[in-house]
Structure 1
Amino acid sequence: MIRPQWASLRSRPAVLPLPRIRAIATSSSSSTPSSSSSTDAPSQLSARERRQLRNERRESLSAAGGGWREEVEERLLRRRKKSDKPSWKEELNLDNLALLGPQWWVVRVSRVNGHETAERLARRLAAGFPLADFKVYHPAVKVKRKLKNGSVSVKPKPIYPGCAFLHCVLNKEIHDFVREVDGVGGFLGSKVGNSKRQINKPKPVGVGDMEEIFKQAKREQELHDLSFEEEEAIAAAAAGEKKVEQEGLRAEEKPKSRTKRSSGVKISKSNSEDPASLLPGKNVRFIAGSFVNYVGLLKKIDPKAGMATVGIMMFGKETIVDVDCEEIVAEAL
């Protein structure tokens, strides 16, 4: 009868391998080899053998009177501590911004009518939080321009288009309130959080940076006012020269003839000498009025009203104007 192979193996006594830890320990105690061999031996041990060596060393230290616990505590104290970095949940909490106190914050507004959005934001904050202290600043230069009727128009030109500055103690309630104002695109900041949730956390502006912005706005406003005053002086000097020229031309002209009244047209001396001088289709020159020294084409003439329709070229296009017949003369060929 043939016995199975596993039965013969079962009958044999089990031979367990001797632990290597004792052999290594006795060899190290009996002989004193070089330091290189002693340091290379632990690196070749398994994790179990290293654990047994550590326990034996601790027992020997405790038997000799030394405390291995104190040694471990010293190593833990010498280990570098982790930086106290807030968690991502704390970074998402906008109420922690109130701990910074009053700060300047950048608010995104429209690049075209940003000053109107800044005024609207100031009114809404004053109505929604009457007990809080707010300052809304939109740095801009007041550009002055003189119109044709003599009046001066003033329009703001933003220094930082699309940005307004808000000074307050910011928290989540005020943050959400500002974002709901018409024309506001949120705060300028950085993305915080993780892949599950991210928000745009506002970033405050330093005091030194705000002082530079105030100085820049003041400096640019002074430069613009100075240039506007220079332009006004130049325009006044040019207007004075034109007035002197017109007075000289009027002094050279003779008194107007008033004998010919049958047609009802006021005819000057220059036109009375040549009755066919003012005829539609001919070129005429302006000697008075708003279009002095302009040359145009006479379209039609109304003798009863004393008015003439002239086409002049302005900005590359023909412009039709109605003027008094006394303001034009026939252009000399």
Structure 2
Amino acid sequence: MMKLQGGLLQWSRSSLIPSIYTPINKTQFSISACVIERNHQLTAKERRQLRNERRESKSGYSWRQEVEEKLIKKPKKRYATWTEELNLDTLAESGPQWWVVRVSRLRGHETAQILARALARQFPEMEFTVYAPSVQVKRKLKNGSISVKPKPVFPGCIFIRCVLNKEIHDSIKEVDGVGGFIGSKVGNTKRQINKPRPVDDSDLEAIFKQAKEAQEKADSEFEEAQRAEEEASLLASQQLLASSNSDVIETVAESKLKRAPRKATLATETKDSKVKKKKLAAGSTVRVLSGTFAEFVGNLKKLNRKTAKATVGFTLFGKETLVEIDINELVPEIQS
């Protein structure tokens, strides 16, 4: 008797040879029972040997060679200990590299200048380059002058090329306005630092290209604005000239219509100059300069200087008519 999958199954040697009258399902149960029992009889060593034989039976396959290749390709550790990875002096082994420094977004250009002066003062023999990608934006002021201001392409970042070690690293971080280097966290739970990561040459070329394209775009926009402003000013001057010419023509036409004879004009000017010398007085003959009674001559009856009014008598239709007129409209009449 043999126990299989929670049920009882009879097994005998004759059961391996199915008879004609044996149903198909019984034959299947007998064979599966035999195979399962045979597998259970294999030891671990025998199964391992069978597996190795199957591997070796494959043509051109060597599992030992595959394992050796995997071990060879396994990357080796760069640093022997974790404390060695924290040593910033190992950055100098790669030689001059481009590094990214975090700065203030508003004072990035000024911080780059301060950093360059500080490095030149502290490390006079070191070769370095400080690069702050920016676009020189031009703008025309109201007084006609052109203002040029730098606009950063990457606000909050400047680039420096040098041989970096711990001393230079600490000196750069101490500069006013510098927030540190862009890198990655290294170390373990005991101690961690932000280790600077150099910039690849391909990335740096893309940065240079982007800054150049931004500068060309800004220059083209300024030139277009200048041309548009010149065209607008030229059009405005032409319109002003045309309007002034029309005004001059109208003024000349009006002056021709209103022009008086030269002799009469001279006589009037001479007469007015003499009149100014003579003062108004009651009983004198006066002439009206403007208003309803312009160029009328009458007799001054009353003169009230407080109200600046005068009563003048005019002879109209054979009768004398009294009219009150402003003093400024009267002048003494000079009898020739």
TM-score per shorter chain, which class?
0.5 to 0.7
3-state secondary structure, aligned to 2:139: strand
Aligned position for 1:39: 43
1:210 and 2:214 correspond: no
How far the C-alpha of 1:252 sits from its partner, in A, is 2.7
CA RMSD of aligned residues (A): 3.0
Deviation per CA, 1:34-92, whole angstroms, max 9, x where unpaired?
9975734899xxxxxxxxxxxxxxxxxxxxxxxxxxxxxxxxx9994774322211110
Partners in 2 of 1:138 and 1:78 — Cα distance?
47
Q: Which runs of 5+ in 2 are unaligned?
A: 1-37, 48-67, 256-268, 270-336
Q: Which of 76, 84, 97 is equivalent to 1:103?
A: 97
1:153 positional shift: 0.6
d(CA) in 2 for partners of 1:216 and 1:78? 44
1:197 counterpart residue number:
191
* 1:248 to 1:189, Cα distance in 2 relative to 1, 3 A: same
**Residue 119 (str. 1) matches residue 113 (str. 2):** yes
Greater C-alpha Rg: 2
In structure 2, the partner of 1:179 is 173
Return the alpha-carbon distance in structure 1 between the equivalents of residues 243 and 165 of structure 2.
Answer: 73
Match of 1:148 in 2: 142
State the SS of the aligned residue for 1:185.
strand
Q: Which residue of the partner structure matches residue 169 of structure 1?
A: 163
Where structure 1 has 5 or more consecutive residues not aligned to the other structure, the ranges are 1-33, 44-76, 260-333
Q: Deviations over 1:233-290 (max 9, x none)?
A: 1100100111112222222334799x9xxxxxxxxxxxxxxxxxxxxxxxxxxxxxxx
Q: CA deviation at 1:228?
A: 0.9
Q: Once superposed, which parts of structure 1, at least 4 consecutive aligned residues long, lie more than 6 Å away?
A: none
Aligned to 2:221: 227
In 2, distance between residues paired with 1:168 and 1:142?
26
1: CA distance, partners of 2:228 / 2:45: 97
Give the aligned partner of residue 84 of structure 1. Answer: 76
Deviations 1:195-248 (A, max 9, x none): 111100000000111111111111111111111111101100100111112222
Identify if the C-alpha distance between structure 1 residues 41 and 139 changes in structure 2 by more than 3 Å, giving closer, same or farther: closer
Change over 3 Å in CA distance of 1:251–1:129 after alignment to 2: same
- Structure-2 residue corresponding to 1:313: none
Task: Name the residue aligned to 1:68.
Answer: none
Given the superposition, is the C-alpha separation of residues 246 and 35 from structure 1 closer, same or farther in structure 2, using an over 3 Å criterion? closer
Aligned with 2:98: secondary structure? Answer: strand
Distance 1:203-1:39 versus aligned 2 partners, 3 A rule:
same
Mapping of 1:159-308 within 5 angstroms? 159-254=153-248
Partners of 2:83 and 2:130 in 1: how far apart?
A: 30
Q: Secondary structure at the residue paired with 1:141?
A: strand
1:185 deviates by 0.3
The whole-number CA distance in structure 1 between the counterparts of 2:235 and 2:222 is: 20
In structure 2, relative to structure 1, the CA distance for the partners of 1:203 and 1:147 (3 Å cut) is same
Q: What CA distance in whole angstroms lies between the structure 1 residues aligned with 2:189 and 2:84?
A: 15
Equivalences, count = 194
1:131-142 aligned within 5 A? 131-142=125-136
| Partner Cα distance (2:69, 2:101) in 1 | 46
Shift in alpha-carbon separation, 1:84–1:248, aligned structure 2, 3 A: same
SS in 2 for 1:98: helix
- CA deviation profile, 1:299-322 (whole Å, cap 9, x unmatched): xxxxxxxxxxxxxxxxxxxxxxxx
Letter in 2 for 1:142: Q
Q: Quote the Cα distance in structure 2 between the aligned partners of 1:233 and 1:162.
A: 34
How does the TM-score come out when normalised to structure 2? 0.53
